[in-house]
Structure 1
Amino acid sequence: MPQSKTIIIVLVTLLVGFAGGFVLRPAIAPTQQTAPVVIPSPIAAAPSEARGTQYFIAHIDEARQVVAGCRDGSVRGGECATAEEAIIKVDAQERRKRFLGN
């Protein structure tokens, strides 16, 4: 009987320790900060540089045009994937807002 109590105490202690580690993880080892976002200049970007997902999230109409161009073959390159990813993220945010009523 005393041995089973010891085992239970050890298991509960380990469980509390692991749960505390997961809860305190952000305070113990904070995540790395990303580089600050650079505001694009009014000059158009070079066509060789693919615009990122964040750009297309901010300019969703342009992302929809790029995806339409990718489907008909007039646009190629890395922008097709990033524009489509941005559209998926924006649509998911809109669905989440409608569902939660925010």
Structure 2
Amino acid sequence: MDDKEFNGLADAALARIDAALDVCEADIDFELAAGGVLEIEFEDGSKIIVNRHGVAREIWVAARAGGFHFRWDGRAWVDTRDGTELMQKLSALASQQAGEAVVLG
């Protein structure tokens, strides 16, 4: 995968997350910065940060539960450790931090 393809796929994933958060009913504030960094803030002040990492060609997620790396497998962004799809993992992480069900996807 070259830089152009990676950036297109990563931008699409971040836009998809942004759109899912926009319709989410949980009390979550979020902002997608121009540099490809999505900051999600919860009522308790905790955050989840989602950003692309061009050198590794991965999407990285930093949450209270830890750091997670997602790599494109040709169909979806999957966790490099356990194979969980990005939106599924992000829903679980956001639910933990929000204290309520957060379904993204």
Q: TM-score range by the shorter chain?
A: under 0.3
Looking at secondary structure, tell me which structure has more helix per residue.
1
User: With structure 2 as the length reference, what TM-score do the two structures score?
Assistant: 0.22
- Give the TM-score normalised by structure 1: 0.23
